């Protein structure tokens, strides 16, 4: 399962920073269809600040250890 699909399923209906990021990803039609951490981090870093990158990295750790 791709990170995008997993993350939206896990956090898309949650309140808070993870839920906010999940909704942003869900609504981003150009979000990469990959689970490659470096590709995703680069994509997010071009569009968001360092706090969002921290949230993404936290989420990706959960994804990687699922």
11-34 pLDDT, tens digit each: 999 999 999 999 999 999 999 999
Quote the radius of gyration of the chain (alpha carbons, Å): 11
User: Tens digit of pLDDT for each residue in 46-66?
Assistant: 999 999 999 999 999 999 999
H-run or E-run covering 52? helix 50-64
Which pLDDT does position 54 carry in this prediction?
Answer: 98
Q: 45: helix, coil or strand?
A: helix
Q: Hey, what's the torsion of the CAs at 43, 48, 51, 53, to 10 degrees?
A: 0
Residue ranges making up the domain that contains 9:
3-64
Distance, in Å, from the CA atom of 65 to the CA atom of 42, rounded to the nearest integer, reads 21
The total of structural domains in the chain comes to: 1
Structure letter (DSSP) for residue 15? -
Interval 32-51 mean pLDDT: 97
């Amino acid at each position: 399962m791709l990170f995008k699909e997993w993350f939206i399923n896990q956090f898309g209906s949650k309140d808070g920073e993870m839920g906010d990021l999940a909704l942003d990803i869900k609504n981003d039609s150009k979000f990469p269809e990959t689970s490659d951490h470096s590709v995703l981090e680069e994509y997010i870093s071009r569009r968001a600040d360092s706090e969002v990158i921290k949230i993404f990295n936290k989420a990706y750790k959960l994804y990687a250890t699922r």
